[in-house]
Amino acid sequence: MCGIVGYIGLEDSKEILLKGLEKLEYRGYDSAGIAVQNKEGITVFKEKGRIADLRNVVNMDVMATTGIGHTRWATHGVPSHDNAHPHQSTSGRFTLVHNGVIENYAILKREYLSDAVFKSETDTEVIVQLIEKFSNEGMDTEEAFRHTLTLLKGSYALSLLDKENTEVIFVAKNKSPLLIGVGSDFNVVASDAMAMLQVTDQFLELMDKEMVIVTQDKVTIKTLDGEEVFRAPYTAELDASDIEKGTYPHYMLKEIDEQPAVMRKIIQAYQNEEGKLAIDFNISEAVSEADRIYIVACGTSYHAGLIGKQFIEKMAKIPVEVHVASEFTYNMPLLSEKPLFIFLSQSGETADSRAVLVAVKELGHKALTITNVPGSTLSREADHTLLLHAGPEIAVASTKAYTAQVAVLAILANVVANFRNLTVDLDLIKELGIVANAMETLVDAKEEMEEIATEYMSVTRNCFFIGRSMDYYVGLEGALKLKEISYIQAEGFAGGELKHGTIALIEEGTPVVALATQEGVNLSIRGNVKEVAARGAHPCVISMKGLEEEDDRYVIPAVHELLSPLVSVVPFQLIAYYAALHRDCDVDKPRNLAKSVTVE
């Protein structure tokens, strides 16, 4: 969480920093700030709220060709002006922005900084005060910075300005993402290439525990032992228009609409010259040889993993466990003899998943990351990567990345089944094409979805999603979408579980959304709908063509039963969207959340 930018060059930095922060707002949006440096010194502007609020307090008359900026997702200390970054040392010589969490900040404060006066509740302020302390003790800035870094436990991406060193931005990274953008006559710093595509598409990756001295015409990367590291820049394959909303009112709606195109792109990306589905031989081999697969993920990606388990077990016949990453590290299950780990992560930066990756790599196990972001931390650190090809997902609520994950998992399962000479009674290319067409129908059914949202979600405080088999997993995702953007208390349940406790919550008018796309359990889920209706619930049945009944609220086009989650989730995404819209919620930036969860 939190986004960082920096610029050092010949142009005025303020607008470049502000535009960069706007592109990083998905990483946190409770407060923001910039610090700009010129011959007269360093000026800090910061404000609680969004980048738009920050713009109101920035004095555009201050010209400065060096600057750093930050958009915050609060960890230590409430969102406020004082806790907003940048933070300054007592004398004002050093100014710092930070993304990450310093676990030992309280110890460091006690041991080294008992005399310092703190202005914020943040862990970040400890870092900038330590740098000043070591500088006062005679170290030059680079040494003081490096020495401070050696004391920090936790995650950080840092950019530092020194009033007495006007030609440099000092940068460091450990566990939090950070890139250096390279230009002619300027260099930039950014948590994500998207932020600086406005000025360059050339970026340098940084590794953990590296520090960088960035000047207008030079980038020097060093290890914490002071050894210089040489690395060539790469070209960010991002199209600036991919990260614009265009005529859409919200990124979420745009991304929902993009799903049919994403399906077609995935089919294309994973086809070989003979028109057959294919993935890297080494990945097929690694998956085939595993005696058990562990899918590790969080949130929406975890929900995609639950569906992936069905694909892999049904098609490739390899047992699969799906784990929530944040639980796995502390509560590691008894592992099989030859496990393979699959990390599912849209961003490829999720700290909880990364903690598991680090732990299983230490045990010597192999890992495959399935991500939307090439070059992301989870991709770099795993043995193999499969890309989602969904294009940048900006809305905090994940939509197209979820369906892309499900589709790529289906392809993986299918290819591995072929690799293992197993017969799969499914022409996946054809069926995914049918899915793309069905998605098209659903994204065109916005009016109906808006009506459902109005009818069921306008006044309710809670809502249940029920389903069986695949529909249960999609219900979990439907509930997450609804709660995270509309703030309606929503829960997904296996239809059969309701009567074991939850049915007690059903009151007159409680909306219960039921999904019926699976022939084998159609009668059972219908029975559950009757049970809740008999207790006053307001049921909303969404069924698949061929299984529909008279009172069903919406019938989705028929697709292969195994692939139904790819289409049945779309109405849920749209219902959540319209429910949030009608409640005047900030659809793309729901409260308390951030897109890329880079703290554990």
Catalytic residues: 2, 595
Structure-token pair, residue 107: 């110890």
Is there a cis peptide before residue 86, judged by omega within 30 degrees of 0? yes
The least distance separating ligand F6R from the CB of residue 471, rounded to whole angstroms, comes to: 19
Where residue 117 falls (left for φ over 0; alpha for ψ -120 to 50; beta otherwise) is beta
Nearer to ligand F6R, 283 or 396 (CB): 396
Residues in contact with 60: Cβ distance below 8 Å, sequence separation at least 6, in sequence order? 14
The least distance separating ligand F6R from the CB of residue 599, rounded to whole angstroms, comes to: 11
| Distance, first Cα to last Cα, the chain | 10
Nearer to ligand F6R, 304 or 442 (CB): 304
The least distance separating ligand F6R from the CB of residue 504, rounded to whole angstroms, comes to: 28
The least distance separating ligand F6R from the CB of residue 591, rounded to whole angstroms, comes to: 14
The least distance separating ligand F6R from the CB of residue 396, rounded to whole angstroms, comes to: 6
Q: Of 70, 211, 189, 55, which is closest to residue 144 (Cα–Cα)?
A: 211
> Closest residue to ligand F6R, Cβ-based?
299
Nearer to ligand F6R, 192 or 484 (CB): 484
Nearer to ligand F6R, 132 or 477 (CB): 477
The least distance separating ligand F6R from the CB of residue 299, rounded to whole angstroms, comes to: 2
Structure-token pair, residue 30: 């409770």
Q: Of 559, 544, 177, 241, which is closest to residue 403 (Cα–Cα)?
A: 559
Q: What is the DSSP string of 370-427?
A: EESSTT-HHHHHSSEEEE-------SSS-SHHHHHHHHHHHHHHHHHHHHTT------
Q: How far apart are CA 398 and CA 440, in angstroms?
A: 18
Interface residues with ligand F6R (CB under 6 A) are 298-301, 345-347, 350, 353, 397-398, 480, 484, 597
- Which strand ranges, in their side-by-side order, compose the sheet holding 94-99? 87-88, 94-99, 156-162, 169-174, 210-214, 219-223, 228-229
The least distance separating ligand F6R from the CB of residue 376, rounded to whole angstroms, comes to: 9
Structure-token pair, residue 110: 């006690």
Cα separations (Å) of 213 from 142, 218, 513, 553, 567? 8, 8, 55, 60, 49
Phi/psi for 558 (5° steps) reads -75, 135
Say if residues 251 and 590 touch (Cβ distance below 8 Å): no
Residues in contact with 441: Cβ distance below 8 Å, sequence separation at least 6, in sequence order? 556, 557
Q: Whose structure tokens read 């991709």?
A: 379
Nearer to ligand F6R, 399 or 543 (CB): 399
Output the furthest CA–CA distance in the chain (Å, rounded).
81
Nearer to ligand F6R, 46 or 400 (CB): 400
Structure-token pair, residue 594: 């951030």
Nearer to ligand F6R, 165 or 353 (CB): 353
Where residue 14 falls (left for φ over 0; alpha for ψ -120 to 50; beta otherwise) is alpha
Q: Whose structure tokens read 């050339």?
A: 202
The least distance separating ligand F6R from the CB of residue 227, rounded to whole angstroms, comes to: 32
The least distance separating ligand F6R from the CB of residue 350, rounded to whole angstroms, comes to: 3
Q: How far apart are CA 465 and CA 477, in angstroms?
A: 9
Nearer to ligand F6R, 284 or 372 (CB): 372
Helix (H) or strand (E) holding 529: helix 522-534
- Surface-to-core class of residue 111, CB atoms within 10 Å of its CB (0-12 exposed, 13-18 middle, 19+ buried): exposed
Q: Which residues pair with 172 in a beta bridge?
A: 158, 211
Structure-token pair, residue 477: 């995702």
Nearer to ligand F6R, 148 or 353 (CB): 353
The least distance separating ligand F6R from the CB of residue 397, rounded to whole angstroms, comes to: 4
Nearer to ligand F6R, 266 or 298 (CB): 298
Structure-token pair, residue 8: 């050092």
- Surface-to-core class of residue 492, CB atoms within 10 Å of its CB (0-12 exposed, 13-18 middle, 19+ buried): buried
